[in-house]
Amino acid sequence: MSFNVNGLRACQKNLDGGFEQFLATHQPDILCLQEVKCDESQIPPDFPSDPSYHRVFHGSTAKKGYSGTMVLSKIKPESTSVGMPGVQDNEGRVITVEYPKFYLVNTYIPNSGQSLERLGYRTKNWNPKMLAYLLELRKKKPVVWTGYLNVAYLDIDVYAPEKMHRVAGFTDEERADMATVLNSGFIDVYRALYPTEEDNYTFWSHFANNFERNNGWRLDYFVISPDLSGAVVDVQHLRFKSGGKRPSDHCPIALYLQL
């Protein structure tokens, strides 16, 4: 599973029963979190209380309470690493976990900014190096790339595409970079299974009743190397119910593999 929590501590408070109940309900073998927005010292050492989970944390050293990623895994990793080659990842954006049959890369891709002030960094620096890293990993083992990838790739991945072409996450440049990833052989699992599905998003702004109106974006993904395609069973967006305070502006997504 993958879940952009938009603040681990706030999400914990607003999740029905907290993360302990979330884990008990869904029983993910692996849970990837993004935007945890805390230092590791602010996470209880016994989190989660289920002792079967191994925890890998990568926090931001650039700014306190910003960005950050985490992986909780019932499967003991063969190795773990943080960051990626060629990028100073002081914002805690990438964790790689090696398993016997694949690499898992949990990623929180930088937003291009309200005024697109980071678009150049994203498309000329981050995205090409991310792809190079994934391709290098793929030479060794199959790859699962997941997280908040911060792009709505197709028109049907955003509620009002005609208005969004110079909005971060839907610029022509960001979408072209995702096309480059997919043209290199990687598979967007959701679109491979549900190529024409509309109105099934993973992010809704907290403003203007966007969640209730389903004015959303598909910004969270599972992308796999082709040698894993035969193992795919399903992928789901686990949308929270309307009413009450949502735990995050994103919903969790789940990938089911039979390996």
Amino acid in the structure at residue 21:
Q
Q: What is the pLDDT of residue 54?
A: 96
User: Is 13 part of any domain?
Assistant: no
Q: What is the pLDDT of residue 95?
A: 98
User: Is 134 part of any domain?
Assistant: yes
CATH number at residue 252: 3.60.10.10
User: Is 114 part of any domain?
Assistant: yes
| 2 vs 199: CA distance, rounded Å | 20
234: tokens are 């399903």
Q: What is the pLDDT of residue 121?
A: 96
The whole domain housing 150 covers 78-257
231: tokens are 């193992």
User: Is 237 part of any domain?
Assistant: yes
* Cis peptide bond N-terminal to 48, omega within 30: yes
User: Is 35 part of any domain?
Assistant: no
Query: Distance of CA 199 to CAs 202, 212, 215, Å?
Result: 10, 12, 8
* Residues facing 55 on adjacent strands: 72
User: Is 161 part of any domain?
Assistant: yes
Walking along the chain (259 residues) 10 residues at a time, the average pLDDT comes out as 96 91 95 96 90 96 94 97 95 98 98 97 97 98 98 98 96 98 98 98 94 97 98 97 87 97
User: Is 26 part of any domain?
Assistant: no
* Cis peptide bond N-terminal to 161, omega within 30: no
- Per the structure, how many domains does the chain have? 1
Q: Report yes or no: 53 and 73 within 8 Å, Cβ to Cβ.
A: yes
21: buried, middle or exposed (CB in 10 Å: 19+, 13-18, 0-12)?
Answer: exposed
What's the pTM? 0.97
Catalytic residues: 108, 250
User: Is 180 part of any domain?
Assistant: yes
